[in-house]
């Protein structure tokens, strides 16, 4: 497949440097990792991984404004998200 499109993103320079070192140590490049991420996202029809919080102080995968949302709506959204993820994985396991 020809590489004919350019994608530009802005990120903190220290994050860029760290991720470039990481992928170089893994024997590839950050650009190739982005291409793999995009291809796998298409294959999965969504994130190619399950977003999670690993550290207590990390910002939620649902965003920085979560603290200002209605508690009831947050609970409903979380329940809907979890139900959708369970259904997706159940469907994937049937294939």
**Which tens digits make up the pLDDT trace of 23-54?**
999 999 999 999 999 999 999 998 888 877 66
> Which pTM does this prediction carry?
0.52
Q: Which CA distances in Å does 47 have to 41, 44, 72?
A: 5, 7, 26
Return the axis-axis angle of helices 30-44 and 13-25, rounded to nearest 10°: 80
- What is the maximum span of the chain, computed from C-alpha positions, in angstroms? 48
- Cβ 47 vs Cβ 37: under 8 Å: no
Greater confidence, 78 or 64?
Answer: 78
CA distance 38 to 44: 10
């Amino acid at each position: 497949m020809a590489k004919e499109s350019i994608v530009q993103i802005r990120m903190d320079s220290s994050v860029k440097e760290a991720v470039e070192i990481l992928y170089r140590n893994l024997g590839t490049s950050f650009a190739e990792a982005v291409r793999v991420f995009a291809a796998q996202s298409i294959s999965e029809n969504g994130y190619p991984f399950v977003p999670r919080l690993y550290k207590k102080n990390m910002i939620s995968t649902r965003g920085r404004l979560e603290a200002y949302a209605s508690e009831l709506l947050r609970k409903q959204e979380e329940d809907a998200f979890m139900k959708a993820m369970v259904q997706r994985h159940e469907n994937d396991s049937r294939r």
